[in-house]
Structure 1
Amino acid sequence: MVNSRDRLLAVVVVVLWGANFIALDYGLGQFPPFFFAGLRFAVLLPVLLFVPRPRVPWRWLIGYGLFFGALQFAFLFTAMNIGMPTGLASLVQQASAPFTVVLGALLLRERITPVQIVGILIAVLGMVAIGWHRAQSATLLPLLITLCGAFSWALGNLCGRKANAPNPLHLALWIAIVPPLPMFALSAVVEGPTAGWDALATAFDSPTGWYALAGLAYTSLLATIIGSGLWTTLMGRYPASMVAPFSLLVPVVGFTTAWLVLGERPHPIELAAGAVVVGGVLLGSIKLSRRKPPVPEAPPLVLPESAVQRP
């Protein structure tokens, strides 16, 4: 059972990550998506000069950096760049929770209950409803790409759990060595060899650029260092199926901030389907505590007749 202090830490992560979608929207207003995915981690590299490498196997460090750092944000940024609404992206990303539960059962042999299976199926039904509605306006592709990002996040969760770093903040920082090189290379091939660097050079010349730089600072420092550090800590302390449900609150913050800051108005069908997703993921991620069998009462002590003293 997650204790009160760790619940509070999980809520802090939720707030940081929910508001992070606004920062990502600002950043993508200036930078190409693949370049931005690499840049958010590249700015952390100088910090590693003062942080010792975490005592974890390289395969889990690289796996965590690849899935949680590089692929998750490459998919997410691409989806948002081609039309995925900010608030809806914060919801669909939470498909990582049932993905994490299922992958934890398949790969880490964590027990999955019938109630969790039902919850996962309900969440999938909600996702299908959102996909159907998106398809009516020919915007299904951003949804599918966002789901790929959620699946990458789930794989990263398992790598972070297997790493079990003594200092999770060090692990959250050191994954920064993985995304920059492949993301910058991909940006050069897909977005153009100078597109990202030109955007960085002109970022200081307009209000949009300054908003993008503020978004970069937020997503790198607050969302990555603090948010990912706390999340990695929680994933190391508890089974994946106990931590993943807290991410359900991220879309609440994401929808609210997108409405207040960006003026986004989600469609009622998407809100209803989103509630189904959240409810299903919550049901699919909880563990029902088993009742302890009653302790049988000790039989009464019967002394042999020979041991009984008679007056």
Structure 2
Amino acid sequence: MSPAHLLLALAVVVVWGTNFVIIKLGLGELPPLLFAALRFFFSCVPWVFLIRRPPVAWKLLAANGVFLGFGLFGLLFIAMRADITPGIASLVVQTQAFFTIGLSMLLLSERLRAFQAAGLALCVAGLGILFAHTDASLTTRGLILTLAGGLSWAIANLVAKRAGKVDMLGFMVWSSLFAVPPLLIASLVFEGPERIAQALVHADWLGWSASIWQGVANTLFGYGAWNWLLARYPAATVSPLSLLVPVFGMLTATVAFAEPLPAWKLQACALLLLGLAVITLWPRLRARLLEGALPSGGSGRD
């Protein structure tokens, strides 16, 4: 990765990591499904009138919008309302790498390799610690909803990868069109017209700023730049940088909300990050070790 592209990836990671604090602030002003609908509204309006639709099948745009919109952020916002803290949410949602392996095995008939099995075992151990320490600030419901959001993110990643090397800013703008209707319908059904009207009338600058930040910085810039990098570099090059997201997430949550970091939480964090690191980094590390072990001018087999 070139230095400029590495800085771009790190900028995305910082935006995504600190965004969990902004989500929590926005949820103090707006109900979760309405907040998510506003997020994707600001991702497509007015941009859809200014940016040409990329040459991508409508079904890919729709799939990305639904899985990223309702699947990831609708469920994540519901969980973060009262069932999971920002720091833990930033960690658990990274299990999208965990689910990507499972989807690849199911849909692409890929074989589970030894290093992947080891990484998955570490992730499961970390999640086990979290499930064993549920309380008022971290409920089983919150963990399940956030894990479901991670699964939806993994599906959206596969959809974006299938879109190929297209204008990813346009891809995010146009796919956001398909995120708004299901979120708005769900908000009308579960949150009700009266609550929606009250929230829109009484939300202050913080709620609206959080919504605009979600739509422009986190969605358009974040996912647009990330998918642009994924279309130009191997996933093994780009994906490991996402391991920094929960680091920024937990640090900013500790600073902003004094979110405690007891030993069990640090242990779960270490196991999950180690498991994800094994899954994403081991192939390249093994290749370098084998390369270094070979004599100059020699050859070898895996």
- What TM-score do you get using the length of structure 2 for normalisation? 0.89
Instruction: Show the 5 A alignment for 1:113-132.
Output: 113-132=113-132
Q: 1:130, 1:274 within 8 Å by CA — same for their partners in 2?
A: no
List runs of 5+ in structure 2 lacking aligned partners: none
Pair 1:248–1:193, CA change in 2 (3 A): same
Pair 1:137–1:214, CA change in 2 (3 A): closer
Q: Distance in 1 between matches of 2:122 and 2:35?
A: 34
Instruction: State the partner residue of 1:253.
Output: 248
Instruction: Show the 5 A alignment for 1:56-135.
Output: 56-108=56-108, 113-134=113-134
Q: 1:172, 1:232 within 8 Å by CA — same for their partners in 2?
A: no
Amino acid at match of 1:103: L
SS of 1:194's equivalent in the other structure is helix
SS of 1:264's equivalent in the other structure is coil
Q: 2:83, 2:137 within 8 Å by CA — same for their partners in 1?
A: no
Question: Is the aligned partner of 1:151 residue 2:151?
Answer: yes
Instruction: State the partner residue of 1:302.
Output: none
Q: Distance in 1 between matches of 2:120 and 2:48?
A: 39
Instruction: Show the 5 A alignment for 1:1-311.
Output: 2-43=1-42, 44-108=44-108, 113-134=113-134, 139-203=139-203, 209-286=204-281, 287-288=283-284, 290=287, 291=290
Q: Distance in 2 between matches of 1:33 and 1:58?
A: 27
Q: 2:80, 2:89 within 8 Å by CA — same for their partners in 1?
A: yes
Quote the sequence identity (%): 36
List runs of 5+ in structure 1 lacking aligned partners: 204-208, 298-311
The count of aligned residue pairs is: 291
Q: Distance in 1 between matches of 2:224 and 2:137?
A: 38
Greater Rg, structure 1 or structure 2?
1
Q: CA deviation at 1:69?
A: 2.2
Q: 1:60, 1:163 within 8 Å by CA — same for their partners in 2?
A: yes
More off after superposition, 212-221 vs 110-119: 110-119
Pair 1:142–1:10, CA change in 2 (3 A): same
> What RMSD over aligned residues (CA atoms) do the two structures have, in Å?
2.3
Instruction: State the partner residue of 1:206.
Output: none
Pair 1:6–1:105, CA change in 2 (3 A): farther
SS of 1:51's equivalent in the other structure is coil
- What TM-score do you get using the length of structure 1 for normalisation? 0.86
Amino acid at match of 2:15: L
Pair 1:100–1:240, CA change in 2 (3 A): farther
Q: CA deviation at 1:238?
A: 3.4
Amino acid at match of 1:18: G
Q: CA deviation at 1:99?
A: 1.5
SS of 2:134's equivalent in the other structure is helix
Q: 2:23, 2:210 within 8 Å by CA — same for their partners in 1?
A: yes
Q: CA deviation at 1:241?
A: 4.4
Q: CA deviation at 1:106?
A: 3.8
Pair 1:138–1:7, CA change in 2 (3 A): closer
